[in-house]
């Protein structure tokens, strides 16, 4: 693992593998780059893979002032530049990480080759905004354990905890989150609404739904795929909201098959 010191922010990252093309992995709310450990084991070494802890998460810096998903987009752009990654990258984002991926692709279309949006959380309804606000207040007041059961019962439901070690490892990392950083990320996510921009995505996309996802159910993900101009869609039967942990082999198989398809130039909007 490495840390990179950007202007006013330090991020932890890991870059592994070789190849001309880079795959960027973006983790979920409450996650970290370790969320992709099992997936990394399935991806092999045929390509360069970059993963990092978003600001406020994992072992990246935890600002005490609020921030937005636009800040996550800027962080990724600065990280790629600092690492000398100048060409277009493939990006796979899970849950809220998919919102960062889409936001980055819309802001920097020439820096993206393709998108894989896994259990994509691209908007937040009014009830969920209230929940995220309440969860933020509770974790700051009482710590991560106070929000763990309610959170993981939906993102990692009991039916998907057959691999007990995998679940307990995820739970341990979740409890180790900094409550303030987690709260800031929740409040930033509460403001996300990308539904009106989906038709503007010029890149080739893969949307993956977990058959047991209680937060972003399969019909919802399928509807998103129908909205995005150049999107493929697939379901992962043994996964819920956190497919990179719950079904890493199948997610890797779908992702690698998608990435193996011939690259296409993004259809950028005309400017007159």
95-104 residue pLDDT tens: 999 999 999 9
* Interacting residues of 20 by C-beta distance below 8 A, sequence separation 6+: 87
Gap between the Cα atoms of 119 and 136, Å rounded = 22
The whole-number pLDDT of residue 272 equals 36
Q: Which helix (H) or strand (E) holds 40?
A: helix 37-43
- What percent of the chain shows pLDDT beyond 70? 96
User: What average pLDDT is seen over the chain?
Assistant: 96
Mean pLDDT, residues 11-33: 96
Q: Which helix (H) or strand (E) holds 11?
A: strand 9-16
The whole-number pLDDT of residue 267 equals 53
The whole-number pLDDT of residue 99 equals 99
Mean pLDDT, residues 74-97: 98
Distance between start and end Cα atoms, the chain: 45
Mean pLDDT, residues 161-166: 97
Encode pLDDT of 111-161 as tens digits.
999 999 999 999 999 999 999 999 999 999 999 999 999 999 999 999 999
User: Residue 168 pLDDT > 60, yes or no?
Assistant: yes
Q: Where are the beta strands (DSSP E) in 17-76?
A: 22-26, 48-52
Give the Cβ contact number of residue 124 at 10 Å: 19
User: Residue 53 pLDDT > 80, yes or no?
Assistant: yes
User: Residue 225 pLDDT > 80, yes or no?
Assistant: yes
Superfamily of domain 2-122+195-259: Alpha/Beta hydrolase fold, catalytic domain (3.40.50.1820)
User: Residue 271 pLDDT > 50, yes or no?
Assistant: no
Residues 235, 260, 82, 106: is their CA dihedral positive or negative?
A: negative
Kindly write down the DSSP assignment for every residue of 161-205, as one continuous string. Answer: --SHHHHHHHHHHHHTS-HHHHHHHHHHHTT-B-GGGGGG--SEE
**Per-residue pLDDT band at 40 (split at 50, 70, 90):** very high
**Per-residue pLDDT band at 266 (split at 50, 70, 90):** low
- Polymer length of the chain: 272
**Per-residue pLDDT band at 181 (split at 50, 70, 90):** very high
Stronger pLDDT, 269 or 238, i.e. the higher one: 238
Kindly write down the DSSP assignment for every residue of 120-163, as one continuous string. Answer: ---B--HHHHHHHHHHHHHHHHH-THHHHHHHHHHHS-GGG--S
């Amino acid at each position: 693992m490495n840390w990179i010191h950007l202007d006013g922010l330090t991020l932890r990252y890991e870059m592994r593998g070789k190849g001309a093309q880079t795959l960027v992995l973006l983790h979920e709310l409450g996650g970290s780059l370790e969320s992709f450990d099992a997936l990394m084991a399935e991806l092999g070494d045929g390509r360069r893979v970059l993963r990092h802890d978003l600001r406020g998460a994992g072992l990246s810096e935890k600002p005490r002032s609020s921030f937005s998903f636009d800040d996550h987009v800027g962080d990724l752009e600065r990280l790629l530049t600092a690492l000398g990654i100048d060409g277009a990258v493939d990006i796979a984002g899970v849950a809220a990480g998919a919102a960062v991926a889409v936001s980055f692709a819309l802001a920097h279309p020439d820096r993206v080759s393709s998108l894989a949006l896994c259990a994509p959380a691209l908007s937040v309804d009014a009830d969920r905004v209230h929940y995220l606000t309440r969860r933020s207040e509770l974790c700051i007041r009482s710590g991560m354990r106070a929000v763990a059961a309610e959170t993981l019962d939906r993102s990692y439901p009991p039916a998907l905890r057959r691999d007990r070690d995998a679940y307990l490892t995820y739970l341990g990392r979740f409890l180790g989150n900094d409550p303030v950083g987690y709260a800031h990320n929740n409040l930033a996510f509460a403001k996300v609404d990308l539904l009106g921009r989906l038709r503007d995505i010029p890149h080739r996309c893969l949307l993956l739904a977990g058959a047991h996802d209680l937060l972003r159910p399969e019909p919802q993900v399928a509807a998103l795929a129908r909205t995005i101009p150049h999107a493929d869609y697939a379901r992962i039967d043994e996964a819920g909201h956190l497919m990179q942990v719950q079904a890493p082999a199948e997610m890797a198989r779908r992702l690698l098959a998608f990435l193996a398809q011939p690259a296409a130039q993004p259809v950028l909007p005309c400017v007159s």
